Structure 1
Amino acid sequence: MEIEENAALIVVDVQKGFEDPSWGRRDNPGAEGNMAALIARWQETGRPVVFVRHDSVQQGSPLRPGAEGNGFKDFVEGRRGGGAGPEVLVTKTVNSAFHGEPDLDAWLKGAGVGQVVIVGIQTNMCNETTARVGGNLGYDVLFPVDAMHTFDLAGPFGWSRTAEELTRATAVSLHGGGFARVVTTEEVLVAAG
């Protein structure tokens, strides 16, 4: 695997509101450590970092602007502004980071970025949607699946899936469908030198 010198790390919705018990059971307890390692590597090597914040418009959401949960988790907030490379904050109200402000696609193209690495919360929601849109826009998308997490989820017809099942389904859909290359944090860290 090759990581381009200007590959952008997109850190999606690593916000305090996802610690609210209302989300239910999550997977991948090591996700935050892997996210932190990737942010550190990107900042050390001067690569661009995109911090994405979900500003929920749903009343009562722990992610709504003004709520404590809207803020980034401490390990992310403490790293903002600490890198040698370019950095941008994108805010959004929908799943895809490509549908926020400022325009992420325009910012990446303006920086000559063709490869993105997506990490954050939730695997099968905002991360997956961002990966699909990024793939459709022509980016080489890397998806280190162990640098993200999600929650158990109930769906229609009485169906439900565990966080682990949803993570596997996302990985298979993205990788098998050609939207992204599903990889590990270690693979990315080694390749990013």
Structure 2
Amino acid sequence: MQNCALILIDVQKAFNEPDWGQRNNHNAETNISDLLAFWRKKQGTVIHVHHSSKMQKSRFHPSQIGHEPKSQARPVPDEVVFKKLVNSAFIGTELERYLRDNKIEKLTIVGLTTDHCVSTTVRMASNFGFEVTLVSDATATFNKKLNGVDYTAQQIHLVHLASLNNEFCTLATTSDILASG
């Protein structure tokens, strides 16, 4: 735990809105909560990353209820929170500097959504030389449509996990992490 951090990405109320579409992995927040409790018990480093839009009407604008963290992932006072404007938790934030200053080399990443901010952050973290574990059952996404073809949230989720595995990260489950420690 000494050189490792748990990073929670965009576990925010905005993703509760039904217009996102069908979602996979409805247990993601429970798994995130379990991992967060485990990390806190071990007194490990916990980092929250929240999407914070500049557009007033965005559900992720700080004035909107959607900007708030979900109940399963509320930061406590000694946990760092970074606000981001784009998909990557590294762009426009001090996340990389914080990790380097605190000699954190290993990242365990969870959050929403698999194919957007989670994937982008995992790729960048790996490119920066961090050892990344992505907890596959502590992330989720929504269905997509392209050229008249519907892709389920589970299909989108699995394709993104497959594209990240081994090249950018190691995949684990919540039970893998909890059993390790």
Q: Distance in 1 between matches of 2:173 and 2:95?
A: 24
- State the match for 1:153 in structure 2: 144
* Structure 1 residue 58: Cα displacement: 4.3
Identity of aligned residues (%): 36
Letter of the 1:173 counterpart: S
- Note if contact 2:52-2:84 (Cα within 8 Å) is conserved in structure 1: yes
Letter of the 1:38 counterpart: L
SS at match of 2:59: coil
Q: Distance in 2 between matches of 1:105 and 1:121?
A: 20
Q: Distance in 1 between matches of 2:55 and 2:125?
A: 25
- State the match for 2:156 in structure 1: 166
SS at match of 1:144: strand
Q: Distance in 2 between matches of 1:100 and 1:12?
A: 15
SS at match of 1:99: coil
Q: Distance in 2 between matches of 1:148 and 1:100?
A: 23
* Structure 1 residue 80: Cα displacement: 2.0
TM-score (norm 2): 0.94
Match of 2:76 among 62, 80, 85: 80
The one-character-per-residue Cα deviations of 1:34-71 (angstroms, maximum 9, x if unpaired) are 00011111111111111111012345321122011111
1:179 is the counterpart of 2:175: no
Alpha carbon RMSD of aligned pairs, Å? 1.4
Letter of the 2:168 counterpart: F
- State the match for 1:116 in structure 2: 107
- Note if contact 1:97-1:130 (Cα within 8 Å) is conserved in structure 2: yes
Q: Distance in 1 between matches of 2:54 and 2:141?
A: 20
Match of 1:47 among 35, 44, 48: 44
1:107 is the counterpart of 2:104: no
The gaps in structure 2 that reach 5 residues or longer are none
Letter of the 1:143 counterpart: L
* Structure 1 residue 158: Cα displacement: 2.9
- Note if contact 1:20-1:62 (Cα within 8 Å) is conserved in structure 2: no
Q: Distance in 2 between matches of 1:20 and 1:100?
A: 26
- Note if contact 1:27-1:151 (Cα within 8 Å) is conserved in structure 2: yes
Q: Distance in 2 between matches of 1:27 and 1:97?
A: 23
SS at match of 1:33: helix
SS at match of 2:171: strand
Q: Distance in 1 between matches of 2:108 and 2:9?
A: 11
TM-score (norm 1): 0.89
SS at match of 2:37: helix
Segments ≥4 residues shifted beyond 6 Å: none
Match of 2:82 among 71, 87, 90: 90
Matched residues, number: 181
Q: Distance in 2 between matches of 1:165 and 1:58?
A: 31
**Structure 1, 131-140 or 157-166: larger mean CA deviation:** 157-166
